[in-house]
């Protein structure tokens, strides 16, 4: 899409010089993905110093640049395969490089799109909840998105750590601004998150000591000779543990439900769908790009361990979610189970499983995003988050509830929505690997999700009008005030609901064009 447009523009100018300079500019697009939101974040407090109301449009303007560049990068990858970008012109093992392949390109588009929509969604909250602090809010939003994009785009292990910390620090700040228990949840998140990041750094250190390199592509060629070295084994263990903490995989998930429940709604909309997915991306990178796939399968039985942990995560997440009455906390526990899905898909180490895992990273980001958006909109209109507060909500907020239902159906795996397709591939992967217990767990979990969401949908759609029980006159039931979410919340809700349906309809195409190339060729 980006390329024809620019060539047309060149043809209009008709000067050869312009053509080459534009071509050069397009070569620099990958740099813009990070530089634009980072510089935007630096400038936001300056703008907010005098003109608080300009911060939101400014943020949106800035966030369109990474989205545009990310789409351009994805198209370039589809057209001509993975490419690198050397920062500062230093050759890779000495300098730092961006490495954009199929997987990172589609993750970039995902992060940029969800980031932009989450920033649109933050507008009403910025006007009320964060009154007078909009500049800081949007700065942290931009930094969060910069960090996430930076983790995905870079090809250097230490650089990943730096951007992981940018993401975490902005996340801590945003989450701690939430409701009553937020500072305590944040402090736990800081402690556990720092353990995770430090373990990751320790893994980098061990790999550095064994090989002397920090570049992922360089390490991938150096490591196979050392697969039986104990340093590599320990480094690998710390890598995986660190990433699992950031991802919220089962025994290490303790920080996640609290942090995402107590965070402000507009913030959990941004962080919850993306942070776990980017960590899952990192796990795929480590298992399949940094190390050869057979390392985690045969040298150490990590794949098996991950598989069983994922299974427990799915069960514990589902059961814990069933026990919740607060719907935001329920979604947070569902996320624990969803992380289990992704890890389970990775752990079976075959083509179908990994395709399912990558597809589920994308689909689940949109589903969780849509759920948090609707919950945010419902809270914004003054309705509570307990399930009984959902009584007759379908009449009060019909569009929001419709989006909620679409996301819920997708979570349960009902065909037109995207959740079905990723679960289909995941189950195919389990069957190919002959892991019948895992396949059964996946099916059970879909049933649990159906129960979970049916409780809410039943309250919202099928419950009798509130007045009936109290014996009031009937006209009061008709007078239920219909007040849907404000426009800036409605747009992201509608787009995310549409995205869930479209991702479902076009999942075959997405797999053909992108994901099948992202899966390592050995499978």
199-210 burial: b if 16+ Cβ within 10 Å, else e? bbbbbbebbbeb
**Scanning residues 412 to 471, which ones bind other proteins (CB under 8 A)?**
none
94 binds other proteins (CB under 8 A): yes
Nearer to other proteins (CB atom), residue 168 or residue 435: 168
CB of 28 to other proteins, least distance (A): 14
Give the separation between CA 226 and CA 238, rounded to whole angstroms: 17
Instruction: Output the smallest distance, CB 257 to other proteins, in A.
Output: 15
Q: Which positions from 192 through 231 interact with other proteins, judged by CB under 8 A?
A: 194-195, 198, 201-202, 205-206, 208-214, 222, 229-231
**SS3 readout for 88-114:** HHCCCCCCCEEEECHHHHHHHHHHHHH
Q: Give the distance from CA 516 to its chain's centroid.
A: 20
- Does 246 sit near other proteins (CB under 8 A)? no
Q: Which is nearer to other proteins, 210 or 490 (CB)?
A: 210
Is residue 301 within the footprint of other proteins (CB under 8 A)? no
- Which residues, in sequence order, are CB contacts of 368 under 8 Å at separation 6+? 272, 273, 331, 334, 335, 338
Residue 127 backbone phi and psi in degrees, to 5: -80, -25
Query: Which position among 2, 22, 165, 450 is part of the footprint of other proteins (CB under 8 A)?
Result: 165
Binding of residue 47 to other proteins (CB under 8 A): no
Tell me the C-alpha distance between 372 and 255, whole Å. Answer: 18
CB 261 to other proteins: min, Å? 13
* Residue with Cβ nearer other proteins (223 or 401): 223
| Residue 184 makes contact with other proteins by CB under 8 A | yes
Contact flag: residue 158 with other proteins (CB under 8 A): yes
Question: What is the chain's alpha carbon radius of gyration, rounded to the nearest angstrom?
Answer: 23
- Give whichever of 105 and 174 is closer to other proteins, judged by the CB atom: 174
Q: Which of 3, 46, 61, 191 binds other proteins (CB under 8 A)?
A: 191
Neighbours of 294 (CB within 10 A): 13
How far is residue 227's CA from residue 230's CA, in Å, rounded to a whole number?
8
Q: How far is CA 397 from the centre of its chain?
A: 27
From 59, 69, 121, 146, residue interacting with other proteins (rule: CB under 8 A): 146
**Segment near other proteins (CB under 8 A); pick from 6-14, 65-73, 131-139, 408-416:** 131-139
CB of residue 230 to other proteins, shortest distance in Å: 4
Q: How far is CA 205 from CA 35, 197, 325, in A?
A: 27, 12, 44
Residue 233 lies near other proteins (rule: CB under 8 A): yes
CA–CA separation, 512 and 203 (whole Å): 34
- 3-state class (DSSP) for residue 215: strand
Binds other proteins (CB under 8 A): choice among 159, 392, 422, 488: 159
Q: Which stretch binds other proteins (CB under 8 A): 9-17, 184-192, 472-480, 494-502?
A: 184-192
- Burial label for 486, CB within 10 Å (0-12, 13-18, 19+), is middle
Tell me if 92 sits within 8 A of 159, measured CB to CB.
no
Tell me: does residue 170 bind other proteins (CB under 8 A): yes
SS3 assignment for 21-35: HHHHHHHCHHHHHHH
**From 4, 12, 88, 469, residue interacting with other proteins (rule: CB under 8 A):** 88
Work out whether 339 is an interface residue with other proteins (CB under 8 A): no
Q: Which of 1, 49, 50, 180 binds other proteins (CB under 8 A)?
A: 180
Interface with other proteins by CB under 8 A: which range of 152-160, 282-290, 306-314, 442-450? Answer: 152-160
For residue 86, give the H/E element and its range. strand 83-86
Least distance between other proteins and beta carbon 70 (Å): 18
Give phi and psi for 322, each to the nearest 5. -60, -30
Q: Which stretches of the chain bind other proteins, using CB under 8 A?
A: 38, 41-42, 45, 87-88, 90, 93-96, 132-133, 136-137, 139-140, 143, 146, 150, 156, 158-159, 161-163, 165-166, 168-170, 172-174, 176-177, 180-181, 183-184, 186-187, 190-191, 194-195, 198, 201-202, 205-206, 208-214, 222, 229-231, 233-235, 237-238
């Amino acid at each position: 899409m980006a390329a024809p447009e620019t060539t047309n523009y060149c043809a209009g100018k008709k000067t050869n010089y312009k053509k080459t300079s534009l071509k050069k500019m397009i070569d620099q697009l990958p740099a813009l993905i990070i530089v634009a939101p980072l510089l935007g974040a630096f400038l936001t407090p300056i703008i907010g110093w005098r003109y608080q109301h300009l911060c939101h449009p400014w943020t949106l303007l800035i966030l369109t640049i990474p989205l545009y560049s990310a789409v351009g990068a994805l198209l370039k990858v589809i057209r001509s395969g993975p490419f690198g970008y050397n920062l500062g012109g230093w050759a890779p093992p000495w300098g730092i490089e961006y490495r954009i392949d199929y997987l990172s390109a589609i993750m970039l588009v995902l992060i940029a799109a969800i980031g932009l929509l989450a920033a649109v969604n933050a507008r009403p909250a910025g006007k009320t909840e964060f009154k007078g602090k909009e500049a800081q809010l949007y700065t942290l939003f931009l930094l969060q998105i910069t960090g996430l994009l930076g983790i995905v785009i870079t090809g250097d292990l230490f650089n990943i750590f730096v951007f992981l910390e940018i993401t975490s620090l902005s996340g801590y700040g945003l989450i701690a601004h939430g409701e009553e228990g937020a500072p305590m949840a944040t402090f736990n998140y800081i402690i556990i998150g720092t353990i995770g990041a430090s373990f990751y750094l320790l893994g980098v250190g061990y790999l550095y000591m064994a090989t002397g390199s920090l570049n992922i592509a360089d390490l991938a060629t150096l490591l196979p000779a050392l697969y039986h070295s104990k340093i590599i084994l320990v480094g690998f263990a710390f890598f995986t543990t660190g990433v699992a903490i950031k991802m919220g995989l089962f025994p290490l998930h303790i920080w996640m439900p609290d942090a995402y429940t107590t965070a402000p709604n507009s913030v959990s909309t941004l962080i919850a769908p993306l942070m776990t997915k980017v960590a899952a991306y990192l796990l795929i990178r480590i298992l399949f790009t940094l190390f050869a796939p057979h390392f985690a399968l045969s040298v150490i039985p990590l794949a098996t361990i991950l598989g069983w942990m994922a299974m427990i995560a799915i069960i514990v997440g589902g059961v814990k979610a069933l026990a919740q009455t607060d719907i935001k906390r329920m979604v947070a526990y569902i996320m624990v189970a969803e992380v289990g899905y992704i890890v389970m898909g990775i752990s079976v180490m075959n083509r179908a499983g990994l395709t399912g895992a990558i597809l589920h990273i994308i689909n689940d980001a949109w589903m969780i995003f849509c759920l948090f958006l609707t919950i945010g909109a419902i809270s914004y209109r003054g309705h509570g988050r307990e399930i009984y507060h959902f009584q007759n909500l379908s009449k009060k907020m019909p569009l929001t509830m419709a989006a909620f239902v679409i996301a819920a159906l997708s979570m349960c795996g009902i065909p037109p929505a995207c959740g079905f397709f990723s679960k289909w591939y995941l189950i195919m992967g389990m069957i190919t690997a002959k892991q019948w217990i895992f396949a059964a767990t996946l099916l059970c979990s879909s049933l649990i999700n159906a129960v979970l969401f049916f409780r809410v949908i039943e309250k919202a759609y099928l419950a009798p009008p509130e007045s009936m029980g109290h014996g009031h006159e009937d006209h009061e039931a008709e007078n239920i005030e219909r007040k849907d979410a404000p426009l800036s919340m409605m747009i992201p809700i509608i787009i995310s609901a549409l995205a869930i349906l479209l991702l479902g309809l076009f999942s075959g195409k997405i797999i053909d064009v992108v994901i099948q190339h992202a899966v390592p060729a050995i499978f």
